[in-house]
Amino acid sequence: MSPLMTFGTALSSIGLNKLRAGLTLLGVVIGVSSVIALMSIGRGAQQQVTERIQGLGTDLLFVRPGATQQGGIFQALGSAATLTLSDAAALADPVYTPSVLRTAPQTQVGLQAAAQGKNAFTQALGVTTEYMEVRNLKLKYGRNISPADVQNRKEFVVLGSRISETLFGVRDPVGESVRLRGRKFMVIGVLQSRGGTAFGNEDDQVLVPITTAYYRLSGSRTSQGDVTVQTINVQAASGASLDSATAEISILLRVRHRIEPDAADDFTVTSQQETVATLNETTNTFVVFLGSIAGISLLVGGIGIMNIMLVSVTERTREIGIRRAVGAKRRDVLSQFLLEATLLSVGGGLLGLASGWGLSVLINGKNLGNQTFRTTISGDVMALALIVSAAIGLFFGIYPALRASRMDPIVALRHE
């Protein structure tokens, strides 16, 4: 039998049972479209997070209290009170750190913000004047926190756009009052929206002077009386000077903290690129997990193909006997049934590609809760889904095809 004749016979056999073939295709369609849609959502989220972080700048370093091992007790990253406001000021000194452009220390306190009978949970960031410039934040209304506000521990607050909308609606709230931990803070500004990711929403944060956050909101103290900070945001002079800035920061902090030459650092310096790499690794795992879940649907579709092909072999036993009797070889019968299974899976795969692509386009930009779906349709994912669907048809069609090809022609002809 020629390949063209085998192909035509397979198509006509599928066409004889259109409803059954359609239901079989449906399982593969759902599987392939699920893989494409979920993978596009996962990759879109990954790209969104990466762009958000890179939008902060490629010349940023983050200095945090480090993980140390002292006295057999593990001290988690960020839990030790080893960084202070004085450290941040020293790191901004061009004499000691010529590769550093500016620094912006910060501390963070979770609390309720209340105004006009409304309230919302927020993160109050204690910051200095330089924070907005280092983190590339823009004002929508009002002004930034000034050095005088920090020095005098003023109870002023700059609201994130979403917190402002929650408490005051769409109007300009500058000059209004907000209560934080029972204290009345005057609104001096509102930030432009930055949007949110799966890792947090900057629009839900508020900014206060770092000294105010330390003395009025957190109540923490050190034995030296200096203001402790959770992170020092460091802007390097350029992206090319990150390595030299990191070395200068490490040397200066080790000297200031009187760390012995053979002792471990009590701080950690990370770059924006390292943060992006870590998040990419995490989100890659997430994307693969989503694809694996959707792949289960493809497996179920493959089992459906095997089931239908076994039924088809049983129903067409007499036909197989006649074909063998008139000269068809085993490989002709094998190739026909295998081709039928492959056509079902590839046909379902093509329909699944179309529906998965359409679903990805449909949900792109749609809001669900506080998050906006962003999808990224990738050609390699679509090609892989189609190849896998064809492979599933071959895999699950082998057993029914072998069963058909191994039938005894005489027994098959006697079948009623």
Looking at per-residue confidence, does 166 or 11 come out higher? 166
Task: Note if the pTM is more than 0.75.
Answer: no
Q: Which stretches within 265-373 are classed as H helix?
A: 272-315, 317-325, 330-363
DSSP string for 178-195: EEETTEEEEEEEEEPP--
DSSP-based three-state secondary structure for 235: strand
pLDDT at 77: 43
> Which pLDDT band, with edges at 50, 70 and 90, does 198 fall under?
very low
Q: In this structure, what are the phi and psi dihedrals at residue 415, rounded to the nearest 5 degrees?
A: -65, 135
pLDDT at 234: 92
Average pLDDT of span 14-21: 72
Interhelix angle 272-315/317-325, rounded to 10 degrees, is: 80
Q: How far apart are CA 189 and CA 207, in angstroms?
A: 9
Average pLDDT of span 249-258: 91
| Model confidence at 90: pLDDT above 90 | yes
Provide the 10 A C-beta neighbour count for residue 184: 11
CA dihedral angle for residue 210, residue 211, residue 212, residue 214, rounded to 10 degrees: 90
pLDDT at 411: 65
Q: Which of 287-291, 326-330, 338-342, 354-358 has the highest mean pLDDT?
A: 354-358
Average pLDDT of span 79-91: 82
Closest CA to 211 of 110, 124, 115: 124
Using one digit for the tens of pLDDT, what is the confidence trace for 225-245? 678 899 999 988 877 788 899
* Average pLDDT value for the chain: 80
| Model confidence at 369: pLDDT above 60 | no
> Which pLDDT band, with edges at 50, 70 and 90, does 180 fall under?
very high
DSSP string for 121-135: EEEEEEE-TTHHHHT
